[in-house]
Amino acid sequence: MELSKYSIGVGDRFAHQGVAQLRAIMKANQSGLEISPVWNKSNREHIYVHTHPADVRREADAAVAALGYRGKYFVDADHINLSTVAPFVETADFFTLDVAAFIGKPSPEADVEAFVNSCEKYLGDLSIPGIEKPLHVTRELLESIASRFLAATEQASEIYKYLVENKGVGNFVTEVSMDEVESPQTPVDMLFILKMLADKGVPAQTIAPKFTGRFNKGVDYRGDLEQFAREFEEDVLVIDFAVKEFGLPKKLKLSVHSGSDKFSIYPIMADIIRKYDKGLHLKTAGTTWLEEVIGLAVAGGEALELAKQIYANSFNRKEELCAPYADVIDIDGAQLPSVEEVNTWTSEKYANTLRHIPGNADYNSNFRQLIHVAYKVAAELGETYTSMLEKYAEIIGNCVEENIYDRHLKRLFNL
């Protein structure tokens, strides 16, 4: 099973927007591209929203049938590990093996030594085509990389073997993710991580490193854009080299776990993948849930009241809701409007505050990040929330489609 060159992860927390998301992708594909939708959902999201992996498969199949979509599509068991993978086996065909927790865990000394010895031919100055300066590879560097990543890649191999036993070889797409950690992986780390994966027979089709800079939830990238561009380009070149050198899947590509809405780096990535004719997987999740709240606000009346209630509950439970996301949000509490103030807002004011259009005077990234982490609040509303999604499906669906197409795909694929 092979992923297409371009693919986008469109997580959908409440599983109501599959059709609207697919409409956006099909619209982009009208220009001759072949972007595959991947419906991704992590175990954590399932627990919060009380859904089951089979719900995502049902949603994806239904959206595809409803629109008569004929391209490839996938269902991603996002950020699974050995203890959480089992319930996803039957219905997912894309598995994101999250091995971040194993970075830095010790490996047997003999394994470290064997790895370092296997890299003998790369010692000294190693030229990677396209990268100006050769990489300087020493035994110390290799030992350091092995001590950080050997156990993590071993874990990827364990999960992969479990999947082969339970799904059969070739019946799923493998992604390896290391993004949910503090320190970024450099291109030279990436090179030897890929060697480890190849040595262990893990046929990764996508790899999700941690990049430098802040990937806060639902808002733009914060960091040095030039440095990001250099790092992204070097990663692309290292992958190209690694594919040939280590015999990894030919279409191996970067997976960017974006946390949604990283608008300022989209054109950078677009230029680089075009320059080298490479693929890309971009994973989003929360951006669609935010469009649901925007759609409710736009719908007005009882739906706007519900959007206000969601904010009030989020505001009052800020600490609890933000705690699990502490590393990926930056909320300035002083910039959050009071509940009383929000309760006086019109549809337009609420939507403009939340919608990610940085040029709009009302846009408030603090408000947006708080709502982003507050989907638990909507989940607790249960039927009250989902019945509104159904009642105002058209308005909400238009917001979802516009967001994925206009703000994401257009910037990513130069449409």
Distance (Å, rounded) from C-alpha 100 to C-alpha 144? 16
Closer to Zn ion at the Cβ: 259 or 279?
259
Task: Supply the minimum distance, in Å, between the C-beta of residue 153 and Zn ion.
Answer: 17
Sign of the C-alpha dihedral computed for residues 163, 18, 400 and 365 taken in this order: negative
Closer to Zn ion at the Cβ: 78 or 401?
78
Task: Supply the minimum distance, in Å, between the C-beta of residue 208 and Zn ion.
Answer: 6
> What is residue 88's DSSP assignment?
G
Closer to Zn ion at the Cβ: 286 or 295?
286
Beta-sheet pairing, 280-284 with 253-257: parallel
Are 175 and 94 in contact by the 8 Å Cβ rule? The answer is yes
Are 84 and 162 in contact by the 8 Å Cβ rule? The answer is no
Beta-sheet pairing, 135-137 with 124-126: antiparallel
Alpha helices in 317-382 (DSSP H): 318-322, 339-342, 347-354, 365-372, 375-381
With CA atoms as reference, report the closest residue to 40 among 197, 211, 173.
173
Closer to Zn ion at the Cβ: 13 or 257?
257
Distance (Å, rounded) from C-alpha 134 to C-alpha 156? 29
Interaction site with Zn ion (CB under 5 A): 179, 257
Closer to Zn ion at the Cβ: 179 or 235?
179
* Residue type (1 letter), 259: G
Tokens of 51: 């859904």
Task: Supply the minimum distance, in Å, between the C-beta of residue 211 and Zn ion.
Answer: 11
Task: Supply the minimum distance, in Å, between the C-beta of residue 407 and Zn ion.
Answer: 20
Q: Using CB positions, name the residue nearest to Zn ion.
A: 257
Closer to Zn ion at the Cβ: 327 or 390?
327
